[in-house]
Amino acid sequence: MTYVIVHALAPIFVIMLLGFWAGKAKMVDNQNVSLLNIFVMDFALPAALFSATVQTPWAGIVHQSPLIIVLALSMWITWGAIYFLATRVFHKSPQDAAVLTLTVALPNYAALGLPILGSVLGEGPSTSLSVAVSIACGSVLMTPFCLLVLEREKARAAGGNSGSSLAMLPVLMWRSVKKPIVLGPLLGVVLSACGIKMPDLLLASIKPLGLAATAAALFLTGVILSARRLKINTMVIIASIATMLVQPLIAWGVVAILGLHGSVAITAVLMVALSAGFFGVVFGNRFGVQSPDAEAVLLISSVLCILTLPLFISLTSGM
């Protein structure tokens, strides 16, 4: 099992290391990655998420509703708790806190979901469906929280805050929904619900973009990290523990409350137990927000999940 986990993590480290080296060697300007960020956030990732959601049968999504409930509650509870700690206790800016909490609360479904879940439950249509639903769940139900905060603070900085956050909510939500990274998976879910199938030619046309998404995002993350120094502090330690241990335990608790068992329960806990995802760091860079804490959590959880994942795989074996 350790080999499987290392095998799944190896591409992440290799691609991030290549990006890190490219930035350090000045092959890529690590102070100005806007073009690469636009490619990842506005084209590659939206194409990948749209393809994953639009090809997921609506009946399959409905059948996976217990998984969606567990993932959503685990991510929302973690997001709220870390955001509160970051802003109220550690006095981080809302932008910094939003990037950090998205990094902590949204696991790396895209890169680790299928290898880890496939090794435990076996590769098959049901496993692929669970991973696709998890990616859609994170994209549609989690990323808008970060976007809302970033858009709100952007509007305030521009002097566009004419009222309370609640009064700004409709405008901020519309701005968030218009972002390709949210619009892509959301449109895919709507089309799936309506039973509309996309032409094979269209899906084949955007497939290369989707295939490049994860690699491009990891490479971009490495380039971004090459311009920073890893800093360990109390917030980083708490956030790392939250993403590696606390959040999976929350998922475990929700599974127990709902009385779930079998493959659904195992999938829910293991998907949440994955290491922190790269979305937060990439989102922050898109809005000009640098979060050293988020970057540190991303690296720490990616390394230490070699230890925590086997723990949760063992704990879920009897579910």
Write the DSSP string, the chain: -HHHHHHHHHHHHHHHHHHHHHHHTTSS-TT--HHHHHIIIIIIHHHHHHHHHHTS-HHHHHHTHHHHHHHHHHHHHHHHHHHHIIIIIS---HHHHHHHHHHHHSB-HHHHHHHHHHHHH-SSHHHHHHHHHHHHHHHHHTHHHHHHHHHHHHHHHTT---S-HHHHHHHHHHHHHHSHHHHHHHHHHHHHHTTPPPPHHHHHHHHHHHHHHHHHHHHHHHHHHHTS-----HHHHHHHHIIIIIHHHHHHHHHHHHT--THHHHHHHHHHTSPBPSHHHHHHHHTT---HHHHHHHHHHHHHHHHHHHHHHHHTTT-
Give the Cα separation of 283 and 147 in Å (integer). Answer: 8
Tell which residue, 298, 274, 283, 301, has the closest CA to residue 134.
274
Write down the pLDDT at residue 258.
94
Give the Cα separation of 220 and 62 in Å (integer). Answer: 34
Within 10 Å of residue 75's Cβ, how many Cβ atoms?
25
Write down the pLDDT at residue 228.
75
Give the Cα separation of 207 and 15 in Å (integer). Answer: 20
Q: How many residues does the chain have?
A: 319
Write down the pLDDT at residue 157.
79
Averages of pLDDT over runs of 10 residues in the chain (319 residues) are 71 86 90 82 84 83 91 96 96 94 91 79 77 82 85 77 60 74 84 91 90 84 81 94 96 95 93 89 82 90 86 84
**Do 228 and 292 contact (CB within 8 A), yes or no?**
yes
Write down the pLDDT at residue 116.
82
Write down the pLDDT at residue 95.
93
**Do 129 and 64 contact (CB within 8 A), yes or no?**
yes
Give the Cα separation of 30 and 40 in Å (integer). Answer: 15
Q: How many CA atoms lie within 13 A of 105 on its CB side?
A: 29
